Structure 1
Amino acid sequence: MSILKTASAALVGICLAASAQAADITIRLAHLNPEDPFASHSGAMSAVFKSLVESNSNGRIEVQLFPNGQLGKDNEVIEQVRSGLVESVISSSGGMAQHYPMVGVFDIPFAFPNIGVASKVIDEDSSFGKKFVADLEGATGLEVLGLLDSGGFFAFTSGKAPIKSVADMEGQRIRTMTLPTHEAMITSLGGQPTPLPWAEVYTALQTGVADGQMNPVPIIAFAKFDEVQKYLSITNHLITPYIWTMNADFMASLSEEDQYLVNWAADVATDAGRSMSRVIEASDKGLPALAAKMDVNVVTAEEQAKFAAAAQPAVRALIEEKYGAEGTAMLDAMLASITEENANF
C-alpha cells in the first residue's frame, strides 16, 4: 500500500473512531452531499433512514452519518464499504463506474422521455432495476439498498457562453464524471471533456480549468455553481442513477428481523429522496433560485434532436466496444423498459 493510501486509510479510521459511540450495532452511512434533508436527496434519504432504524430498534441500532464526502471521494468510499471499513454509502454513477463500469448503460443521451418514466425504470423493483441490481451485486459483492435518479435531468452550465445548439459546444471544456460514456458524449458534440472528481469541480470552474459542467438542477443549486457560472442551459439530455449499497457480509451478520428493518427503512428513505428531488426542482431552492442569478435558456425540441443525433451513436458504439455483448444486452433491456413504462402512461 502506498504512503498516500496508508495515510488516507488512517485518516478515515481516526474519523470513524472519533464518532464511535456505544451501541449494539452501528451502521456508518456516507454520501457526497449536504446533510440538510431539504438540500439534497441523499441528505433526505440518510435522515429518514437514521430516524426509522434508530426509533424502530429502540436505539439498539445506531446510524452514524458522514455527509459532504467526509470519508473521501465517491469511489474511495465504495471501496471502504466493499472492504468492510464502512457499512454503507449512497453514491453517484461516476463513483460506482470504477467498481462496476456497466453503469454506463444509463448514459445514452435523451433516452428517457420524462421524469415519470425515469422514476419507474430507475428503481430497484422495476423489471430493469432487478436485472441491473442483480448484475451489480454479482460483480461487486455489494448489496443494493436503493436505486433512484441523481436528482433529475442534467442541464449544462458554462462560464464561457450559453449552450443553445450543438455548435455552442465547440471547444468548451466541460467537466464530466470519470465515465468514458460521458467523455464520448461531450467529444461527439464538439466539446472537450474534462473528467474530475466531485470534490474538485467548484474550484475547476472558479479557476477556468473547466468552462462548464453538467448536473441536475438540485445539484447545481446546492453546489452553488451559480457563484462561478453565468449560463444555465436546460437540455434534459441525461439522467443517471444514484446507487445505495451496503457491505454484504455486514448485512448477512444481522438477524433476520434487523435485515427486514434495514431493507424497509431504506425503501422508505429512497422514496423520500426521490420525492425531495422533485420538491427541490420546483421550489425556490431549485430553478427559480438559479434563474435569479444566472442567464437561463431552454434548448428547443428541434435542437435537442440534433444533440441526440450527434451523441447517441457515439455513446452506443462505446458501450458496445467496451462492454461487449453483455453491455449491449443490458443497454437494450433498459431501452425496452423505457418503451414499456412510457406506454403505460
Structure 2
Amino acid sequence: MTRSVSLKTLTAASLLAAVAAVGPAWAADVTIRLAHLNPADPFESHSGAMAATFKSLVETASGGEIAVEVYPNGQLGKDNEVIQQVRDGIVQATISSAGGVAQHYPLVGVFDIPFAFPNIAVSNRVMDLSSEFGQTFAADLEEATGTKVLGLLDSGGFFAFTNSKRPIETVADMDGLRIRTMTLPTHQAMVDSLGAQPTPLPWAEVYTALQTGVADGQMNPIPVIAFANFDEVQQYLSITNHVITPYLWLMNGAFYADLSERHQDIVDWAAEVSVEAGRGVSRVIEASERGLPKLASNMEVNAVSPEEQAKFAAAAQPAVRALIEEQYGEAGVAMLEAMLAEIETARTELGLAD
C-alpha cells in the first residue's frame, strides 16, 4: 500500500470514527455506511434519491435494528477510493459510477459500445439485476471484487456532449476538442475515434477543468449536467444519445454475508425499491424544469440527427469493440456478446426488432 493511499484510508476512517462517536438516534444492532458522489437532495440526483429511500426503508422495516449513515458529495473520497474502502470493510456500501468501478472491475467497459441501446426501456430491462445478463454480470463482478451487488441501473440517462467551442452536429465538429472522460479506456477510445482529444479526469475536478479550459467539454446524462451546473461553464449542449453507462451499488461481501437472513431480506428489498426510485427521479429531472429547460436557458442546445448519429456509430463502434477485444480478451468478448444478446431479446419483447 502506498503512503498516499494509506493517508486517504486513514482520513476516511477518521471521519467515520468521528461520526460514529456521536452515535445514531437509537442503539442500532447494525450500521450501514453508504457513500456516493452526488448531491444528497433526493430530487436533485438519482443516487441521492436511492440513498434517502434506502435509509428510510431499512431503518423503518428493521425497527431501528439497522442504522444507515449516508455520506453524499464524495465526502469519503473519489469513486475508486471508496470502492476500495468497501472492499476493505471500512465503508459498508457505495453507489458508484462506471469510471470508479472500472479500476476494480474493467469489464464494466462492455456497456460502452456506442448506440447499442436503442432507448431507455431496453436499457432498463438489460441494465438490471432481474435480467439474465444483469445476473451474469453481477456474479462475475462479485467474484472478482468480493463485493455484493445490490443494484444495477443507468447513470441518469443517455449521454450528451457539452463544450465551450461550438455546437456538435457532425463527427467533424468533434475535431480537436478536449473532452473530459471518466477513467474508462472505452470512453477514451470512443472520444479519440471521433477526432477529439480524451481528457480523463476524476469527477471532483471536472467543473474546474471546464471553467479553466483544461477541458473544452465533457459528456454526461442531462440530469448530471444539470445538477453539476455545467451550464455555468459550457456554452453548447449537443444531444447525441451516444452511450448509456451503469451505476453499481456495491456492499462489502463479508458484511452482507454476516447479516441475519431477515436483515439480508430487508437490505435486498430496500435496495430494489430504491433503484426504481433512482430511475424515476432521473426521468423526472429529464422531463422537468430541473433538466433540459434549465440547461437551455443558459446554453445553445441542438439535437444530432439520426443520419449523423449513424455516422458517429460507424466511427466509434469499431474502436470500442477493438479495445474490448484487445484489453479484456475472451472474457470481455463473452460478456459483451451476452449483453448484446440481452439487448436483442429486450428489443424483441418490446416490439423493436429490426
Secondary structure at the aligned position of 2:75 is classed as coil
**Which amino acid in 2 is paired with 1:144?**
V
Secondary structure at the aligned position of 1:112 is classed as coil
1:244 offset after TM fit, Å? 0.1
1:189 offset after TM fit, Å? 0.4
**Counterpart-to-counterpart distance in 2, 1:237 and 1:11:** 38
> What do residues 229-281 of structure 1 show as CA deviations (whole Å, max 9, x unaligned)?
00000000000000001001101111111011111010110111111111111
CA RMSD of aligned residues (A): 0.8
Q: Give the match for residue 214 of structure 2.
A: 209
1:296 offset after TM fit, Å? 0.1
**Counterpart-to-counterpart distance in 1, 2:206 and 2:192:** 19
Query: Which of these residues, 308, 314, 321, is aligned with residue 313 of structure 2?
Result: 308
> What do residues 118-147 of structure 1 show as CA deviations (whole Å, max 9, x unaligned)?
111000111110111111111111100000
**Which amino acid in 2 is paired with 1:12?**
A
> What do residues 18-47 of structure 1 show as CA deviations (whole Å, max 9, x unaligned)?
211153210000000000000000000000
1:77 offset after TM fit, Å? 0.1
Q: Give the match for residue 106 of structure 2.
A: 101
Query: Which of these residues, 37, 48, 58, is aligned with residue 53 of structure 1?
Result: 58
**Counterpart-to-counterpart distance in 2, 1:207 and 1:315:** 29
**Counterpart-to-counterpart distance in 1, 2:162 and 2:180:** 10
**Counterpart-to-counterpart distance in 1, 2:109 and 2:277:** 25
Q: Give the match for residue 173 of structure 1.
A: 178
Show the 5 A alignment for 1:144-293: 144-293=149-298
Q: Give the match for residue 3 of structure 2.
A: 3
Q: Give the match for residue 35 of structure 2.
A: 30
Query: Which of these residues, 120, 133, 137, is aligned with residue 138 of structure 2?
Result: 133
Residue 296 (str. 1) matches residue 301 (str. 2): yes
Q: Give the match for residue 65 of structure 1.
A: 70
**Which amino acid in 1 is paired with 2:16?**
L
**Counterpart-to-counterpart distance in 1, 2:116 and 2:13:** 42
Runs of at least 5 residues in structure 2 that lack an aligned partner in the other structure: none
**Which amino acid in 2 is paired with 1:3?**
R
Query: Which of these residues, 334, 343, 348, is aligned with residue 343 of structure 1?
Result: 348
Query: Which of these residues, 41, 44, 54, is aligned with residue 49 of structure 2?
Result: 44
1:288 offset after TM fit, Å? 1.0
**Which amino acid in 1 is paired with 2:129?**
E
**Counterpart-to-counterpart distance in 2, 1:51 and 1:213:** 34
1:3 offset after TM fit, Å? 3.4
Query: Larger deviation: 169-178 or 328-337?
Result: 328-337
> What do residues 149-202 of structure 1 show as CA deviations (whole Å, max 9, x unaligned)?
000000000011111110000000000000110010111000000000000000
**Counterpart-to-counterpart distance in 2, 1:147 and 1:173:** 30
**Counterpart-to-counterpart distance in 1, 2:11 and 2:301:** 42
**Counterpart-to-counterpart distance in 1, 2:195 and 2:323:** 17
Secondary structure at the aligned position of 1:302 is classed as helix
**Counterpart-to-counterpart distance in 1, 2:3 and 2:323:** 35
Q: Give the match for residue 85 of structure 1.
A: 90
1:86 offset after TM fit, Å? 0.3
Query: Larger deviation: 16-25 or 191-200?
Result: 16-25
**Counterpart-to-counterpart distance in 1, 2:115 and 2:345:** 16
1:2 offset after TM fit, Å? 3.4
**Counterpart-to-counterpart distance in 2, 1:155 and 1:263:** 32
Q: Give the match for residue 12 of structure 1.
A: 12
**Which amino acid in 1 is paired with 2:304?**
V
**Counterpart-to-counterpart distance in 1, 2:72 and 2:35:** 6
- Structure 1 runs of 4+ with >6 Å offset: none
**Counterpart-to-counterpart distance in 2, 1:13 and 1:129:** 32
Show the 5 A alignment for 1:310-325: 310-325=315-330
**Counterpart-to-counterpart distance in 2, 1:91 and 1:208:** 27
TM-score, normalised by the number of residues in structure 2: 0.96
